[in-house]
């Protein structure tokens, strides 16, 4: 797997979600799993799988039981992809700063008490770790 996760399109992400749920799967299995969400032909799913292969996001091994068919499995972990996506979003839309991101969401959607408490805990944890790195005690 490359050091930086590959850029995955929205359509490719749909395929990856299927593979992250259960793998290995054939192209036919992936198409069947997507049937309720997408109106894609098998050829479209195969094209997406080939793109993901070139990006090294998935691997393919011959399906010994079914001749010329391949079984696909994710090489890219969902957590790695999600982290890259979230960092990219913050960089693109908020110039890499988290405060405007939180302000943006809180101005458009009422924060639940649990969300506010979770943010407070994240800040406290950050301050605790920062204090332990510098030798200072933050409370």
Provide CATH code, domain 10-76: 1.10.10.10
- Which runs of E-coded beta strand occur in the chain? 25-26, 58-62, 70-74
CA distance 114 to 119: 9
CA distance 23 to 109: 36
CA distance 88 to 125: 23
At 108-137, the pLDDT tens digits run: 888 788 888 888 888 888 888 887 776 655
Asked whether the predicted pLDDT for residue 21 surpasses 80, the reply is: yes
Beta partners for residue 73, in sequence order: 59
Q: Quick check: helix, strand or coil at residue 65?
A: helix
Q: pTM score, two decimals?
A: 0.70
């Amino acid at each position: 797997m490359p050091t930086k996760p590959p850029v995955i399109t929205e359509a490719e992400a749909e395929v990856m979600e299927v593979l992250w749920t259960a793998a290995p799967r054939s192209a036919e299995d992936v198409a069947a799993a997507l049937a309720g969400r997408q109106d894609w032909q098998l050829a479209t799913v195969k094209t997406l799988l080939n793109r993901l292969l070139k990006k090294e996001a998935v691997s393919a091994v011959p399906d010994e039981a079914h001749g010329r068919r391949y079984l696909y499995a994710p090489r890219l972990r969902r957590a790695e992809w999600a982290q890259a996506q979230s960092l990219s979003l913050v960089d693109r839309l908020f110039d890499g700063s988290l405060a405007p991101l939180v302000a943006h969401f809180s101005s458009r959607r009422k924060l639940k008490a649990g969300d506010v408490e979770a943010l407070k805990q994240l800040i406290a944890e950050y301050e605790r770790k920062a204090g332990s790195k510098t030798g200072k005690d933050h409370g």
